[in-house]
Structure 1
Amino acid sequence: MTRPAAGAATRSAAGAARAAAALSSFAIFDIWNGRPSPIHALSVVALVSLVFAVRAARAGRIDRHRKIMRGLTLGALLIAGAFTLLPGRIMHAVVFGG
């Protein structure tokens, strides 16, 4: 595999991992007694964003593709990360003690 092909394969695998993570969240319903939680809304946003990112890349709009993918990454780190630190969560106790 040539270097550009290896990079494309890595990026495709990262995109597939993002999609798998978002899709897997739809199997989690024990947080709010069987009802969808805010994480499900984030998953929908992530999946729609991935579709737009792939369309942009295929249309040659690489700057748009990069912007969407960077937004997804930052959103995953900041928004989802913030949810893990809410009081009552395990990571809240790990980070802040208690």
Structure 2
Amino acid sequence: MNIKPLLEAGLAIQLHVAAAAIAITLTAVILTVRRGTPAHKHVGRAWVTMLALICISSFWITGMNGSSYSWIHLLSAWTLLGLTQAVWAVRAGNIRAHKYAMISTMVGALLGAGFFAFMPGRTMSAVLFG
């Protein structure tokens, strides 16, 4: 493991990675706390904030397609929509829709995008595999 590529990366990438690390940690926490409790709500708000930060920071990260956006930015926009839907659902008392939106967002954003973060040529690939 070599952290140098991350330290040499731009601020947007550093912010993106820090928010992702926090989101992954919060995911483990949110999956262990009882649903509907104050702890679940507080951790959930922090998790939504971190995912929004991940998505927003991604719009300052280009490079897969030269200096333009790539298909992965569609996932960022989709994730922001999913987060919005989940928050609206829980505020409306529709727990089933909230649960579905959150699980879909968790799988798509963290697992799906996380997989692509470690592809050859990406910063996290250089950090982990040298």
**Does structure 1 residue 86 correspond to structure 2 residue 95?**
no
Structure 1 ranges of 4+ moved more than 3 A: 85-90
Q: Identity rate of aligned residues, in percent? A: 37
C-alpha separation in 2, matches of 1:7 and 1:86: 33
Taking structure 2 as the reference length, what is the TM-score of the superposition? 0.61
- What are the ranges of 5 or more consecutive residues in structure 2 without an aligned counterpart? 1-36
User: 1:7 Cα shift?
Assistant: 2.6
Taking structure 1 as the reference length, what is the TM-score of the superposition? 0.79
Q: Is the 8 A contact 1:25 1:39 kept in 2?
A: no
C-alpha separation in 2, matches of 1:68 and 1:35: 29
C-alpha separation in 1, matches of 2:118 and 2:54: 19
**Does structure 1 residue 66 correspond to structure 2 residue 74?**
no
- What are the ranges of 5 or more consecutive residues in structure 1 without an aligned counterpart? none
C-alpha separation in 2, matches of 1:86 and 1:31: 11
* CA RMSD across the alignment: 2.1
Count of residues in Structure 1 that have an aligned counterpart in Structure 2: 92
